[in-house]
Amino acid sequence: MGLNLVVLVKQVPDTANITGEAMKEDGTVNRQALPAIFNPEDLHALEAALTVKDQYPDAKVNVLTMGPPPAVQVLKESLYRGADFVALISDRRFAAADTLATSYALKCAIEKIGNVDMVFCGRQAIDGDTAQVGPQTAEKLGINQITCVSEINGIDEGKKTVEATRSIEGGFEEVRSGFPVLLTFTDEGYIPRPPSAIRMLAYKNASTDVSSEDFDESYMDGDTGVNTNLALWDIEAINADVANCGLSGSPTKVKKIQSVVLTAGDIKMVENTAGGIAEMVHDLIADHTLG
């Protein structure tokens, strides 16, 4: 059997284009009000897994995401790029999960896949920038991790080891770890390949093989029937304990959300003229800020 790889991806709101309407009153995010994108570093993680598959063609690339139904879009994009199997972990009872509850659900899903050699994910997602879900998932799986990876330097299939370069402050480390291991990727390496046109045609109508009353499939581009490459997993499907999911499995609570309000300081507007600027420089030299 070839290498069994799992890639964890996330659909995120494009935080660069945010508006005030995107926040709900309780401080949670109204994701519908924002354009949703494939979390950038997760695309690098997917590319890393696909690069491994290029070298080891019998490797299997499984992509998992947890999120509401529209998150299926990042799974489709993964299929277009070369993933073998994708699953959407979606259940209303996952709602309001913090990083701990999220990592628990991902752990359950990874165990459902079983016999995984390497787990790949982005270092962090742009909506929270926490960089916690990768290591938390590794800990729950009881496996080693290599964070902030820029490059995989080699894989020894026989010895079941991987060598990778990871970024640290002011430099880098080259490390080796046995399988199974979770790697988190920065955007320094593995420029994502474009989607393949042939795969897009094959998968554009990909649909889930499980139907659920709670599941809104209206986002799909029409249903061409069962597609075994794309699965929908709810809490029962991944054998998760409800108590550890969603809000009840999340120790962190949002106490307060403040919109950023700027306090008007004693700003002195300087005229954009040689005289205005010279006066400011004079002031700054006089009070010893400059010079």
Nearer to other proteins, 242 or 290 (CB): 290
From residue 103, give the alpha-carbon distance in Å to each of 20, 44, 140, 182. 29, 20, 7, 12
Between residues 8 and 232, which has the closer beta carbon with respect to other proteins? 8
Q: Tell me which of 170, 194, 222, 225 binds other proteins, using CB under 8 A.
A: 170
Cα separation, 173 vs 181, in Å, equals: 16
Closest CA to 70 of 198, 220, 171: 220
Task: Please report, as residue ranges, which positions from 235 to 254 form the binding site for other proteins (by CB under 8 A).
Answer: 250-254
Q: What is the CA radius of gyration of the chain?
A: 23
256 binds other proteins (CB under 8 A): yes
Counting other chains too, the contacts that 196-202 makes at CB distance below 8 Å and 24 or more residues apart are: 196/80, 196/81, 196/82, 199/79, 199/80, 199/81, 199/82, 200/80, 202/79
Query: How far is Cα 31 from Cα 128, in angstroms, rounded to an integer?
Result: 13
Per CB under 8 A, the list member of 174, 216, 221, 223 interacting with other proteins is 174
C-beta of 117: minimal distance to other proteins in Å? 14
Site for other proteins in 30-89 (CB under 8 A): none
- The reply to whether 223 sits near other proteins by the rule CB under 8 A is no
Lay out the site mask for other proteins across 106-135 (x = CB under 8 A, - = otherwise): --------------------xxxxxxxxxx
Q: How far apart are CA 156 and CA 16, in angstroms?
A: 40
Q: Which is nearer to other proteins, 115 or 252 (CB)?
A: 252
Tell me whether residue 174 or residue 221 sits nearer to other proteins (CB atom).
174
What are the phi and psi torsion angles at 256 (to 5°)?
A: -155, 145
Should residue 2 be labelled a site residue for other proteins when binding is judged by CB under 8 A? Answer: no
Site for other proteins in 268-287 (CB under 8 A): 268-274, 276-278, 280-282, 284-285
Q: Which window, 52-60, 81-89, 173-181, 233-241, contacts other proteins (CB under 8 A)?
A: 173-181
Interacting residues with other proteins between 18 and 37 (CB under 8 A): 18, 20, 22-23, 27, 29
- Member of 1, 197, 198, 264 binding other proteins (CB under 8 A): 264
- Closest distance to other proteins from the beta carbon of 100 (Å): 6
Residues contacting 84, CB < 8 A, separation 6+ = 60, 61, 62, 229
Q: Among residues 4, 177, 208, 229, which is the contact residue for other proteins, using CB under 8 A?
A: 177
**Interface with other proteins: number of residues (CB under 8 A):** 83
User: For residues 130-169, which are near other proteins according to CB under 8 A?
Assistant: 130-140, 144-148, 163, 166-169
Buried (b) or exposed (e) across 81-117, using 16+ Cβ within 10 A?
bbbebbbbbbbebbebbbbbbbbbbbbbbbebbeebb
Separation of CA 265 from chain center: 38
